[in-house]
Amino acid sequence: MYKGAKVQLLDLPGIIEGAKDGKGRGRQVISTARTCNVILIVLDAIKPITHKRLIEKELEGFGIRLNKTPPNMTFRRKEKGGINFTSTVANTHLDLDTVKAICSEYRIHNADVSLRFDATADDLIDVIEGSRIYMPCIYVVNKIDQITVEELDILDKLPHYCPISAHLEWNLDGLLEMVWEYLDLCRLYTKPKGLNPDYEDPVILSSKRKTVEDFCNQIHKDMAKQFKYALVWGSSVKHKPQRVGKEHELEDEDVVQIIKKI
């Protein structure tokens, strides 16, 4: 339990080279990792970069993209018309011939490809193949008590890194706070009519899916069908309470009361 939310931590076996091909039960381990909300990669402070690259390579080979967002492009297959390539920005990696060559590798000869950022060939391949998982990742660098202050200062400035010492219990609170930030959760409290809000057992939603309808579905699948309106207290509304519909987006620690149809 952390900040009112039940957080489950899975300690998976270490990933070795060739894991994506099944070595060391690698496929089973990586398949489990694909179901998580955040990945923590624990590295040794003595040689963090070597381990980091190996693990990233194995996860990439299994379709997991760390600390990336899905490519901002549209790829639509069609019956005829060849390959149509358009872009709203200047491209330094892709042109029509390259796009055609990549599509040809997948036996695609008719498609519309539209870019809204400077995409690479790997980005296009990810979109064509699909089944990619884009996940936040924290690189937990352990044993920082065995490196110099200068080395620690470098690690501390790297994005997505969290230096710790498990043995000396250094920066464990900082790691917990970073995990919470990367989980990006929204805690919502129910308020039965005529009663005080229930602050002990919040409804937990992803900050990417936090409408009143999402809130209803998390409690019970039939609640959205019986929904009339909701009363909301919190930072997502101007008035306390405010009457809202199913499309209203909630914010962390809002209080919600659902009014059902009679």
Distance, in Å, from the CA atom of 82 to the CA atom of 58, rounded to the nearest integer, reads 35
* β 73-77/111-115 pair status: antiparallel
Same domain, 195 and 251: yes
Query: What is the pTM assigned to this prediction?
Result: 0.87
- pLDDT per position as a tens digit, 125-146: 999 999 899 999 999 999 999 9
Q: Are residues 83 and 166 in the same domain?
A: no
74-111 pLDDT, tens digit per residue, is 999 999 999 999 999 999 999 999 999 999 999 999 99
46 and 138, same domain (yes or no): yes
Single out the residue in 143, 167, 183 at which a domain terminates: 183
Residue 29 and residue 156 in one domain: yes
- What is the extent of the structural domain holding 230? 186-260
Do 140 and 63 fall into the same domain?
yes
CA distance linking residue 146 with residue 212, whole number of Å? 49
For residues 55 and 161, membership in a common domain is answered with yes
Output 259 or 22, whichever has higher pLDDT: 259
CATH number at residue 165: 3.40.50.300
Question: Do 57 and 145 lie in a common domain?
Answer: yes
109 in the same domain as 35 = no
The structural domain count of the chain equals 3
Q: Is residue 147 in some structural domain?
A: yes
Q: Residue 19: which pLDDT band, with cuts at 50, 70 and 90? A: confident
| Claim to verify: residue 239 and residue 191 sit in the same structural domain | yes
22 has pLDDT over 80: no
| Three-class DSSP labels, 118-147 | CCCHHHHHHHHHCCCEEECEEEEEECHHHC
In a domain, 1, yes or no: no
